[in-house]
Amino acid sequence: MPQNLTLSTPPPEAGDLIDLADTTHALPQHHANSTHDGNTGHEARDWTLDLPDSEHVRFFRATDWTRSRLGPLKEWSPTLRLFTRMLFADSRAACLWWGPDLVAIYNAVYQPLAAQAHPKLMGRTFREGYPDLWPGIASYFDEARRTGRGVDYSASMSLLVERRGWREEAFFTGNFVPLSSGPTCRPEGFYNSLVEVTKQKLADRRTMMLNRMAAVPYPTPDAVSAHIMATLETNGADIPLAILYEADRSGAATVLRLRGHIGLPKGHNLIVDGHTLDSEHGLIPDCRRAGSEAITIEYDQRFDSISWQGFGTPSKKIVILPMTSGERVFGYLIIGTNPHRPHDDFCQQLIKDLSRMASSIISAAADAEESKKRELQLQNDLAFSDTKLRHLIEHASVGMVHISLSGQLLWANDHYYALSGKSQQEQMKPMHFFDVYLDEDRSKAEELWDKLINGVNHVNSELRLKRSYTSPTGHVEPAQLQVLAFPYRENGKVKSIMACTTDISKLKWAQTFQARLAAEAREAKRQQEAFIDVVSHEMRNPLSAIVHCADEISHALEELRLKSAEIPEPCIDALADNVASADIIMQCASHQKRIIDDVLTLSKLDSMLLAITPTAVRPSKLINSIVGIFNAELKSNKIRSRITQDQSLVQLDIDFLYLDPSRVTQIFINLLTNAIKFVKSSKRPEISIRFGATLSNPRVFFPEEMFWAAKSKDNGDVTGNAEWGTGEEVYLTFAVRDSGIGMQSKEIHKIFERFRQANMRTHVKYGGSGLGLFISKELTEKQGGEIGVCSVLGEGSTFGFYVKTRRVDRHPQTPGELVQDSGDVGVAPHELQVLLVEDNLINQQVLGKQLKKAGCIVEVANHGLEALNLLDQKSFDVVLMDLEMPVLNGIDAMREIRKREREGEGLLGARMGPRLPMIAVTANVRQEQIDTALSAGANRVMQKPFKAADLVYMMQGLVPQVTTTPNTAPPTPGLDERVKEMFS
């Protein structure tokens, strides 16, 4: 029985007790500890073998019961054996207290509740296991013996339970049920079962605290501050630390006034008072960072030496709660969270409720204080002489009016009549001042009047007038007034009503106008995004057909040699010329693709549509996959390449890091493509790649003479966002050195600018858009890094960059990462049955032809609906699905296919084994579009343009039972979806 434990659970069913009596009454009392079977008279088998096979049961068997008061297991009575079986079958936490001395036998669920008493408690008496609890618990046993019935006990106190690897606060209810083979008033033992009621008890405790906080005795700021701290002090378990600041904005700078604290000893470094919000003392920097939104910080050395309330244990999470109303921040409430409860949704709800409650009562007190000041000020003004008062009224910048209880205007200044839109004569009759308001708002004005004459201290409202207001854009709309009205009292009785009116027509128009501008901006962004999608799709689709055709022409000569041993020399020459021309087409297509990607990426940067999405990545795997793309090109141009992994990766034990592999790949490929381009003409073409990691000062990884590109003002570092996690910051560094033409020092300073190259000859001789390095610079800055270069004319260049990442404790398998998995290609018993769903006739013909050459059996559907009809008639091994199609698009078609699989419809529902593999073949390259395709049911995403060999290789990874023809070109080494997504 653990300390502070208060638990209850219902007794065993009556039928169980009757069976128990039936099995034990047949045995004489003196045979209760017999080691022989009552029916056969022979030695019984080991009855503990019938118990569930678990680690806890093995611990139970291993206990030396011969040293306990119950004796060896084989001598236990049938009654004790029966309830022991019941104990280990119970899903609740339960413990048997057996015999006159109450010896403990407990199940695995009860084990964490025993806390420090386990494992010694097994076989010990209650007094030995819980000597400090016996005086308070003995009465429960006595009551159960006296009445022969179970005794409940309630969850009035909490218990710290060791589970899930840490000490957790929990509440339990339970009972003691007397057990016996005879009358229950003479029990042989007691069954103690427990039920957890933690959430209910925590909710009650926190609700009580919030209700107590809502009951404010006096609505003044000082009283409310004291009330908040007094209320928080009543719940030390959930609020072990609290600091309350009031934001004093009376001066030029906001000053934080300390209004109370809980848990801070005298002289503690966090006791800071009277400092401005830009101070660096105590927790003020965290308050400044919070602004008007709640933030959570981790425990650090600043919180040492605190006298933590409740359990006396430091909080793992500290929450900064701004107390706000609208845009105004009244102060900050800093609290420590319960150290023995998880920081889950239940905890977050308490934080939200506490923030709302504190903000509500503190803002109400501030409003009351301000209203009181305004009221006093007006009363003081009325104390002036009538002449001075009228002089003030006539020259006031707001409309002022004094009205009798009968609705007669006693006096009003000229500004009031000007704002109302009606003259003094038109408002002379009682209650005619209501006529100035729009009919829809008149009832609202009358309600305010009724409140004032019934004694409400003041009302503040916005009312529309019949008078028109012409906005700066020329639109005509009803004018609006801000009305502040209050009763004038004599001897405590309301005698008349006074009001001040302010024209807020322009302000309300501006608010509406700004909202309209924001909506238009969102629509413009949506249209911009749609435009980029259309441009991308329409440019990549024909480029894909060009690549397929050029690829087919490139392999024509090789295919002809395989089919015919003797080919006329003129034919070979003509075919060789065609292959060379196809290679040139492929190079041009690749160049065009890069230009398209650069322009689209630039448009995303300009439109702020480009996303940086972190994924858990191994740096070495990423580098190898990128370089693998260029293996064929490096080999064909006889360029030596070397990849060096710096020792820092091993020294820092770098495994997985959170980074955006597509953006890093985009930067790296820009640098590697440039290096290959400029090194081809070198006498000894060579490219060296080096990468490493550091925790600080990443520039030391690079040469001292490295020129670093100037940072842009608009590029914010996104690696501090919550999606990057809270792991240790690590700077990942990359350097690409080539033996190319090099640059002069005066050329280096402009190569990272938009549409700029080293000189005009560079574009003429080597091509390019002048965007690659500019985009690389922008992408490195968005990832908290820099890019730079050092170069010597005629000796080559070294380009380097670094990005900020975060360490990953374990590698999560997200859908984005799973698309990187590649399957092994096996020898198949049958040819691959492919359903090609594509609305573009050229792509149908070209891709279908190449797939058939690769040994595939291909059927074509023009849109998603045709594909569904074909899948109802025939089985396929894989589906290649375009996304943008008429009638039924690819996304909806894939969702319908997965739905039919789940619900068992048609051939798809009857399919044996894994679900039908689907590859989305698309020109839509934004990450959101790729994620949408994967979530709709695609296994992989192949982005246009691509080589047919790469697509066949991807299909082989999904369906290993595949055969392909010998003349199929090898796939691009290391190709996967993340690498293909490099320019998205």
Q: Residue 750: which of 770, 726, 730 has the closest Cα?
A: 770
Question: CATH number of the domain at 611-812, out of 3.40.50.300, 3.30.565.10, 3.40.50.2300, 3.40.50.700?
Answer: 3.30.565.10
With a CB cutoff of 8 Å and minimum separation 6, the contacts of 367 are 325
> Domain 414-608: which CATH class?
alpha beta
With a CB cutoff of 8 Å and minimum separation 6, the contacts of 25 are 181, 182
Q: Residue 89: which of 214, 176, 193 has the closest Cα?
A: 193
- Block means of pLDDT (10 residues each) for the chain, length 984 residues? 38 33 33 40 73 92 92 93 93 93 93 84 91 85 91 79 77 89 87 88 92 87 90 92 92 91 92 92 92 91 91 92 90 94 90 92 86 80 62 74 88 85 86 88 89 88 88 85 89 88 86 78 68 62 68 69 69 70 66 60 52 82 82 82 90 88 84 85 87 91 89 73 83 91 79 60 46 82 89 88 85 42 39 89 83 88 92 91 90 92 84 85 78 90 79 80 43 38 32
Do 59 and 121 contact (CB within 8 A), yes or no? no
Instruction: Write the CA distances from 687 to 329, 639, 739, 788, 796, integer angstroms.
Output: 58, 7, 7, 17, 10
Alpha-carbon dihedral of residues 348, 353, 248, 295, nearest 10 degrees? 10
With a CB cutoff of 8 Å and minimum separation 6, the contacts of 297 are 286, 317, 318, 319, 320
Measured CA to CA, the distance from residue 273 to residue 245 in angstroms comes to 8
Strand, helix or coil for residue 787 = strand
Measured CA to CA, the distance from residue 60 to residue 558 in angstroms comes to 75
Do 839 and 862 contact (CB within 8 A), yes or no? yes
Q: Residue 448: which of 427, 433, 467 has the closest Cα?
A: 433
The pLDDT assigned to 383 comes to 61
Q: How many CB atoms lie within 10 A of CB 580?
A: 12
- Superfamily of segment(s) 829-957: Response regulator (3.40.50.2300)
Do 153 and 140 contact (CB within 8 A), yes or no? yes
- The percent helix, strand, coil of the chain (3-state, each to 5) is 45, 20, 35
The pLDDT assigned to 134 comes to 87
DSSP 657: E
The pLDDT assigned to 468 comes to 87
DSSP 36: B
Strand, helix or coil for residue 307 = coil
* DSSP-assigned states of every residue in 599-647: HHHHHHHHHT------EEE-HHHHHHHHHHHTHHHHHHTT-EEEEEE-T
Range 49-198 has CATH code 3.30.450.20: yes
What is the radius of gyration, based on Cα positions, of the chain?
40
pTM listed for this prediction? 0.38
Structure tokens, 419: 């704002």
Do 858 and 817 contact (CB within 8 A), yes or no? no
646 burial type by CB count under 10 A (0-12 exposed, 13-18 middle, 19+ buried):
middle
Measured CA to CA, the distance from residue 786 to residue 802 in angstroms comes to 6
Do 709 and 787 contact (CB within 8 A), yes or no? yes
Angle between helices 864-873 and 890-903 (to 10 degrees): 30
Measured CA to CA, the distance from residue 37 to residue 41 in angstroms comes to 5
Quote the distance between the C-alpha of residue 917 and its chain's center.
Answer: 30
Do 502 and 482 contact (CB within 8 A), yes or no? yes
- Sketch the domain layout of the chain as residue ranges: 49-198, 216-372, 414-608, 611-812, 829-957
User: What phi and psi, each to the nearest 5 degrees, are found at residue 691?
Assistant: -140, 150
Residue bearing tokens 């940086």: 612
Residue bearing tokens 């403990």: 104
Please count the CA atoms within 13 angstroms of the CA of 697 that sit on its side-chain side: 2
Instruction: Write the CA distances from 454 to 372, 458, 484, 489, 507, integer angstroms.
Output: 18, 11, 16, 12, 32
DSSP 39: T
Q: How many CB atoms lie within 10 A of CB 592?
A: 14
Do 178 and 145 contact (CB within 8 A), yes or no? yes
| pLDDT tens digits along 601-627 | 555 554 444 567 788 888 888 888 888
Measured CA to CA, the distance from residue 687 to residue 642 in angstroms comes to 7
30 burial type by CB count under 10 A (0-12 exposed, 13-18 middle, 19+ buried):
exposed
Measured CA to CA, the distance from residue 910 to residue 743 in angstroms comes to 65
Instruction: Write the CA distances from 347 to 203, 206, 317, 454, 799, integer angstroms.
Output: 10, 10, 11, 44, 49
With a CB cutoff of 8 Å and minimum separation 6, the contacts of 329 are 247, 291, 292, 322, 323
Beta bridge partners of 503: 481
> Domain 216-372: which CATH class?
alpha beta
Q: Residue 127: which of 112, 119, 117, 115 has the closest Cα?
A: 117
Q: How many CB atoms lie within 10 A of CB 17?
A: 16
Structure tokens, 347: 């905890």
CA angle (344, 345, 346) in 5-degree steps? 90
- Assess whether the region 414-608 and the region 611-812 belong to the same CATH fold: no
Handedness of CA 491, 492, 496, 499 (dihedral sign): positive
Per-residue b or e along 119-143, where b marks 16 or more CB atoms closer than 10 Å to that residue's CB: eebbbbbbebbbeebbeebeebbee
| pLDDT tens digits along 82-125 | 999 999 999 889 999 999 999 999 999 988 888 788 899 999 99
Beta bridge partners of 832: 856
Measured CA to CA, the distance from residue 307 to residue 240 in angstroms comes to 8
Q: Residue 918: which of 852, 864, 970 has the closest Cα?
A: 864
Measured CA to CA, the distance from residue 35 to residue 28 in angstroms comes to 14
Q: β-strand 878-881 against 918-922: which pairing, if any?
A: parallel
Handedness of CA 300, 301, 303, 305 (dihedral sign): positive
Q: Residue 555: which of 833, 947, 843, 953 has the closest Cα?
A: 947
The pLDDT assigned to 966 comes to 38
